[in-house]
Amino acid sequence: MVKKTGNIVDRGYASQIASLHAALGIAEDYHQVMGLPLQPEPPQLADAGPDMFGRPQQMTPATLAAWQSMRDRAAADGITLLLVSAYRGASYQADVIKRKLDSGRSLADILRVNAAPGYSEHHTGRALDIATRDCSPLETGFDQTEAFAWLVKNADKFGFVLSYPEESASAISYEPWHWCFREP
């Protein structure tokens, strides 16, 4: 099933992002400080089935096709790739940050590991968080797994790149599990 969403970064989207930032206490110059571009939401999302926790996931149709091909090829090579998360809207991203703030974490610490609403690659429907059976999800130890080694060697053949490598120019922490599909 394909779901329609907003497809351009318009004034309404920019206004929504500014409101979410104000509610969370995120500085107006966030994008300049962090070196992250505003990420538009996609015109279409396809149902991608459940993630490793049984939650329904969505991604762009092209990302879904590339993910399925990459996952199947990895399986043929004896590697298990598990989907942790895919598309997240800006409001959902704001809720993630709010929950962390409510638990007592500082905004500065949160923004080192979570992009502010409007700036997450997950908003595009092309970013995937990937795990494997022999490592807890969303842990840097993922880079010590056979799955990560397979991704480093093969993900680009399917159009995926590691968004936040150790030497990343952005202020987001190293995330070996975060891979983004680059549409041609």
Give the structural domain span for 109: 2-181
Amino acid found at 169 = A
Give the separation between CA 88 and CA 57, rounded to whole angstroms: 9
Orientation angle between helical segments 61-76 and 146-154, nearest 10 degrees? 120
pLDDT in tens, the chain (184 residues): 333 344 445 678 889 999 999 999 999 999 888 888 999 899 999 999 999 999 999 999 999 999 999 999 999 999 999 999 999 999 999 999 999 999 999 999 999 889 999 999 999 999 999 999 999 999 999 999 999 999 999 999 999 999 989 887 666 889 999 999 997 6
Do 116 and 43 form a contact (C-beta atoms < 8 A)?
no
CATH number at residue 66: 3.30.1380.10
Buried/exposed 77-99: b ≥16 CB within 10 Å, e otherwise: eebebbbbbbbbbbeebbeebee
DSSP H helical ranges for 29-184: 30-34, 61-76, 90-102, 107-113, 146-154
Instruction: Domain count for the chain, please give it.
Output: 1
